[in-house]
Amino acid sequence: QPLVGVLALQGDVREHAAMLRRAGARVVEVRRVSELAEVDGLVLPGGESTTMSRLLDTFDLLDPLRQRIRDGLPVFGSCAGMVLLARQVLDGRPDQHQLGALDVVVRRNAFGRQVDSFEADVDVAGVEGSFHAVFIRAPWVEKAGSEVEVLATVGDATTPGSAADRIVAVRQGRVLATAFHPELTGDERIHRLFVRTVSEVA
Ligand code: GLN
């Protein structure tokens, strides 16, 4: 069984840990460089990306994390985790750090202008049937580079008159990200996708 870490500085750490266990992984919470060094994969949970960014500094994890990702560590980020993984963030705080693991530009709190949260059934490439997705002050991917695989889109129901489909799940190599929270709905299929990637590498 692969050992998957959950970055445990802030956010919904326990929910991810539970889903990873159901998906067949051993799980450890990661707060230190020594813990980061042990894992075969890492989840960046949902929460608050500016807070997590600040805590990555405080815990001296920012550079070690960037290095491990450069060295090929599989990573999965949900919501705030997606924001952190992006190359660039719009509507972020000017001092928030980007891990730059995904060649995407994300817009933070993108759906949140009219309503904070909504749920939708989305099709996710690699997952059979539809997936019930919970969006909470969610980002969307505004621009994706050519190496980025779009796994899911959703109609922007929050902006009246908008027919645009927004990108809400992506993969680039071993890096996976969702704008929604698969850790919250008891459906572990997206965690299984990630654990499979981790197992292939570990
Ligand atoms: N809006 C939050 C952020 O920008 C993300 C919200 C979430 O993770 N549910 O970090």
* Per-domain boundaries in the chain: 3-201
Residue 152 makes CB contacts below 8 A (sequence gap 6+) with: 122, 123, 124, 125, 131, 133, 167, 168, 169, 178
Pocket test for ligand 1, best of 79, 115, 134 (most atoms within 8 A of CB): 79
More confident residue, 2 or 163: 2
Q: Is the pLDDT of residue 42 over 90?
A: yes
159 lines ligand 1 (CB under 6 A): no
| pLDDT value of position 156 | 78
What's the pLDDT at 202?
82
97 is catalytic: no
First to last CA, the chain: 9
The predicted model gives 63-87 an average pLDDT of 98
C-beta of residue 81 within 8 angstroms of C-beta of residue 104: no
Q: Are the CB atoms for 130 and 104 separated by under 8 Å?
A: no
The reply to whether 5 sits in an annotated binding site is no
**CATH code assigned to 3-201:** 3.40.50.880
Tokens of 113: 């202008």
Provide the ipTM: 0.95
